[in-house]
A = this chain, B = another copy of it.
Amino acid sequence: MTLDGTNTWVLREPGAERVVLVDPGPLDEAHLDAQLAACGGAGRVALVLVTHHHHDHTDAVDAIHARTGAPVRAVSPDWCRAADPLTDGEAIDVEGLSLSVVATPGHTADSVSFVVGGDKALLTGDMVLGRGTTVVVHPDGAIAPYLDSITRMRALVTAGEIEVAWPAHGPVLDDAGAVLDHYLTHRQQRLDQVRDALVALGEQPGPDAADHPTLARRVVEVVYADVDRSVWDAAEWSVRAQLAYLAPA
């Protein structure tokens, strides 16, 4: 609801009194007021869900819990208020609004998505974004669960359970299958680029490759050679995640 900020989702079954609020977002009073107005008032919030622990999704958790009294649920107990953590495969029902919980770690270890069955939609948090590709920040995020999660989401499209993706940043994605295919292809291309860079550098990554003091930087210098140097520090985060994935156990 903030421009170029984090999307807060308000879900309500047609005719229902009460709503589910997903990702209350940053702690901004104007944003909170707008959220609760969209909900029809603080008393209408039955449940607050959190897609993962990053602060742009969770800073308002305590304020929204205080104002609404509604339980807050997340994968991590740290972000639950008056409720239990979410579990994979769990079904949630609020006045006929049916959600199903899909554990989708990768962006972070605690990332979770929600199937909104009535809309054939998947609320993806930061695992799939409205623009660009997501970040996998080593060591909280990791490539292996990330690829598994994206593959699992893609299977939901194939099975006809979802068609669209509702991300936590940027616009709605009408063709979730195409976006997920792009995510898988893009990640494999980046991994290939990192593998090629390691060959070019004559490096055989050891088990601690992700935490080597200079290896990630040297890989960035190859893979991001044509990108302004201003982005190299940031690119190191993603490359470390990829080195961790490619390293021998």
A133 proximity list for chain B (CB < 8 A): 226-229
Q: How far apart are the CA atoms of A19 and B224 in the complex, in Å?
A: 36
A186 proximity list for chain B (CB < 8 A): 226
Q: How far apart are the CA atoms of A4 and B221 in the complex, in Å?
A: 10
A182-199: which have CB < 8 Å to B? 186, 190
| A45-53, A60-68, A85-93, A232-240 - interface stretch | A232-240
A217 proximity list for chain B (CB < 8 A): 4
Total contacting residues, chain A, CB less than 8 A: 30
A67-98: which have CB < 8 Å to B? none
Assuming A4-B217, A218-B4, A221-B132, is B231 touching A235 (CB within 8 A)? yes
A228 proximity list for chain B (CB < 8 A): 132-135, 190, 234-235, 238
A137 proximity list for chain B (CB < 8 A): 230
Q: What is the CB-to-nearest-CB distance from A203 to chain B, in angstroms, rounded to a whole number?
A: 14
Q: How far apart are the CA atoms of A135 and B232 in the complex, in Å?
A: 10
Given contacts A131-B225, A228-B238, A231-B231, 19 further A-B contacts (CB under 8 A): A3-B214, A4-B214, A4-B217, A132-B224, A132-B226, A132-B229, A132-B232, A135-B228, A135-B229, A170-B221, A186-B226, A228-B234, A228-B235, A230-B235, A231-B234, A231-B235, A231-B238, A232-B234, A234-B234
Q: What is the CB-to-nearest-CB distance from A151 to chain B, in angstroms, rounded to a whole number?
A: 19
Q: Which 5 A-B pairs have the closest CB atoms?
A: A231-B231, A231-B234, A135-B230, A131-B221, A228-B238
For residue A122, CB closer than 8 A to chain B, the reply is no
Q: What is the CB-to-nearest-CB distance from A213 to chain B, in angstroms, rounded to a whole number?
A: 8
Q: What is the CB-to-nearest-CB distance from A180 to chain B, in angstroms, rounded to a whole number?
A: 15
Q: What is the CB-to-nearest-CB distance from A178 to chain B, in angstroms, rounded to a whole number?
A: 14
Q: What is the CB-to-nearest-CB distance from A227 to chain B, in angstroms, rounded to a whole number?
A: 7
For residue A21, CB closer than 8 A to chain B, the reply is no
A233 proximity list for chain B (CB < 8 A): 234
For residue A129, CB closer than 8 A to chain B, the reply is yes
What mask results when residues 111 to 132 of chain A are scored 1 for a CB within 8 Å of chain B, else 0? 0000000000000000001011
Q: What is the CB-to-nearest-CB distance from A225 to chain B, in angstroms, rounded to a whole number?
A: 5
Q: What is the CB-to-nearest-CB distance from A224 to chain B, in angstroms, rounded to a whole number?
A: 7
Closest to A213 in B: B3
Q: How far apart are the CA atoms of A133 and B224 in the complex, in Å?
A: 10
A1-47: which have CB < 8 Å to B? 3-4
